[in-house]
Chains A and B, each alone.
Chain A
């Protein structure tokens, strides 16, 4: 059974960076296309970016271009999402998600709360 386990909550100051991890168990990361979705408090879901297997590249939502970097460590089956130049509006729960049995996001991490506050 594929599971995604994310790192713990973070508190950051404005202008800092945060790096959230997502460890895959029950499968290998190289066989999955990992994506990241965030949700501000009381708000909806927002896709940030993910791996496009057709192009073999990671694509980012235009809103986050230049501020977000998504990487993978295949030796530990762990995906990472780093967001820089944090501002208060980046306070949100960050989820990793992937499609395994279907072509939509059927596997989600438990979420990582990132709080940006001075």
Chain B
């Protein structure tokens, strides 16, 4: 089973600042099958990024994903008030499709 470790656990930033979230895998993720999700309290997760760097429909271009192999990054170029939430990475290249523990982006 591939273990995903997300860091930091919590990121305290102000609106307008840049957020950089890390997701490190215990083994290489097959064919960059790495996704990022955003989750707000009381809501289901929402897909932001798939294939490590492709944005899902309707996702603003301030969200970008990068990386390959074992190291992946989600960048939010300029935080908007609605971006404060918890973010999860997931690898779906090998079974089981594991999730990272999440990074909470909170208002400083």
Residues in chain A within 8 A of chain B (CB atoms): 35, 37, 44-47, 49-50, 52, 59, 61-62, 95, 97, 101-106, 108-111
Contact = CB atoms under 8 A, between A and B. Distances in A.
Nearest to A60: B96
Interface residues of B, number: 25
B44 A106 contact: no
B25 interface: no
A104 B47 CA distance: 8
Contacts of B98: 47
Q: Which of B35, B46, B51, B101 has the most CB of A within 10 A?
A: B35
Contacts of A47: 90, 96-99
B33 interface: yes
Given A44-B99, A47-B98, A102 B47 contact: yes
Contacts of A44: 88, 99-102
Nearest to B101: A44
B95 A52 contact: yes
B33 A103 contact: yes
Contacts of A52: 95
Given A52-B95, A62-B96, A108-B45, 9 more contacts: A44-B100, A45-B37, A45-B45, A45-B90, A46-B99, A97-B44, A101-B57, A104-B51, A109-B44
A18 B41 CA distance: 24
12 contacts: A44-B100, A45-B39, A47-B99, A50-B97, A97-B45, A101-B57, A103-B33, A104-B50, A105-B37, A106-B56, A108-B44, A108-B45
